[in-house]
Every structure is written in structure tokens, then in C-alpha cells.
Structure 1
């Protein structure tokens, strides 16, 4: 894979709409290894490195406990191994009926590994003021760039 260490930002914010974040990155790893990471709800809740979390599962809900960032709850929407995973990221970790964003991952074969794409959408449906939704969008927009780089570092160069 390319040594390019930047993610491709394909977020369309030119319209003034801040509802969807889309990123992709090339990872020099087999699809099954990338799948083992992205199919885990909340794998992207990290602080400078991908770490294991304490996870509480209740049906299709998973609450991820991170020692730095706190608790986050995800609802598994679809898992299509090894190419697609989708989760609802609940706005309120304590309320399984709370509004959410949809986080989707696509794994596509590439020359010497895969292309991993993430799309997070639905920010406009979240509770709070427009400024609060925009702040969440901006934080996650920056966060996905960081998390995809962490995924590449964590997974890259290892072949089964």
C-alpha cells in the first residue's frame, strides 16, 4: 500500500450542512484482520492508541467503558463479514432510546491490503442546540482522521 499517511476527507460541508462525515484510508492488512477491529462496537474510542475496553453487552446494545473518555453505547445495526459493519452511536449512553448517529464501515480489497471507509451521519437529528450539534460534528470530524490513522498503525503490515 502507499506510504501516504493522510486520510482522504470526503466530507461535504460546502453546503453548510454538517450532518455527514466520510473518511477513507488504505491499510496494508488483510480484510479479515481489519474486520476483527471494525466489527467491534466502539473500537474507535481511544486516547492516542487503540486499546481494549470493558464492554457490557445487552442484546444488540454494547456499552464501551473507556478510562479516559467514559461510557458510550452503541446499537449493532448490521454485520456483513468481512465487508460492512454498521452501528448506531447513541447520544445518551444511559438511554437506549436516545437519538443517534449512524456509523458505517466498508472494507474493500486493494492492491496489498484494503481500503477502509467510515461514514458517520445523522448529526442533525441529535438533541441540543445547533452549536452543540456542530461542536459534536467538529469533534468527530477530527476524531475520525485520528482513529483511522490509529487503525492503520495498529493493523498495518501484519498478514495472516
Structure 2
């Protein structure tokens, strides 16, 4: 484990409320349209599944599903700071989506990406910076896609 002398965080957390049922949010989330530019169809993710997310701007990123509990939890591991790298110990972070249905019928989507402190410091700084902005952008895109 690398220490982080810059004091930056080991995790990014974001919440967004989406005006749709948890099932509908889940269905859109697992299309992974927002990490594959619309090219990957809906999947039924299971622990151990692997696929590659593609972005013309960012490149290709292998992703391994860690846990999938339809429709409330999805987690995966990826090496977001190393385009093309297989996620593994020392180069990857864990992304966890928790979907909670609210009384008004909307869904609270909570996203945590953790493990930045285990990355080499230069890689961690870049990943935290890129992904903090990236999650805001991707969650907005997800919300717009679900809500129409």
C-alpha cells in the first residue's frame, strides 16, 4: 500500500437521484452505454464476468464484475489510470453502485470508487482528478438516459 503524502482521497463518492424506479435505473446502468458509447447491449452481469469498455476519447478499459445483486448493487474493478490494462492488484480501483428506491418512487444511486491509495502516487493523482469529474459527467448522462 502506497502512502499518499498529497493528502488526496482514497475514494470518490457521488449521489444522484433519478426520477425512475430502481428496476429502470438498473436496466439502464447494466447496458453500460455510458462507458461504451452505446455499443454494448444490455447484459445480466455476474461476478467474474469480463468485458472491455471502449471510448474514442479515452481508449479501452477491461472491466471485471466483482458483484451483482439485481437490482440493488453492482460492483466492478478496472484500471482507469492505465488504458488497456487488465485490472489487478496495484493498478485497479473498485467501483460500487448502490441503488435505493425512495418513497416517492425515485431512485437514489450512490457510487463509490475506492482503492486509489493502492495505486502508484502519480497514477492515483491522475485517476482521482479524472474520475471525480468523470463520475459527475457519467451520472448526468445516466440520469438523462433513464429519465428521457
Indicate whether the TM-score tops 0.5: yes
Q: 2:128 aligns with which of 88, 113, 137?
A: 137
Q: How many Å apart are 1:23 and its aligned residue?
A: 0.4
Q: 2:100 aligns with which of 84, 90, 108?
A: 108
Question: Which of these residues, 74, 82, 90, is aligned with residue 63 of structure 2?
Answer: 74
Q: Report the 3-state secondary structure (helix = DSSP H, G, I; strand = E; otherwise coil) of the residue aligned with 2:35.
A: coil
SS at match of 1:45: helix
Q: For the Cα contact (< 8 Å) 2:16–2:110, is it kept in 1?
A: yes
Q: CA-atom RMSD, angstroms?
A: 2.4
5+ residue gaps, structure 2, are 1-5, 42-47
TM superposition score normalised by structure 1: 0.72
Q: Give the structure with the higher percent strand.
A: 1
User: In 1, Cα distance between the equivalents of 2:10 and 2:34?
Assistant: 19
How far residue 96 of structure 1 moved from its aligned partner, in angstroms, is: 5.0
Residue among 6, 16, 23 paired with 2:14: 23
Query: Does 1:37 pair with 2:28?
Result: yes
Query: 33, 52, 60: which is aligned to 2:38?
Result: 52
The total of aligned residue pairs comes to 133
User: Cα offset for 1:113?
Assistant: 1.3
Distance 2:60 2:16 in 1: 27
SS of the residue 1:88 aligns to: strand
Please state if 1:65 is matched with 2:54: yes
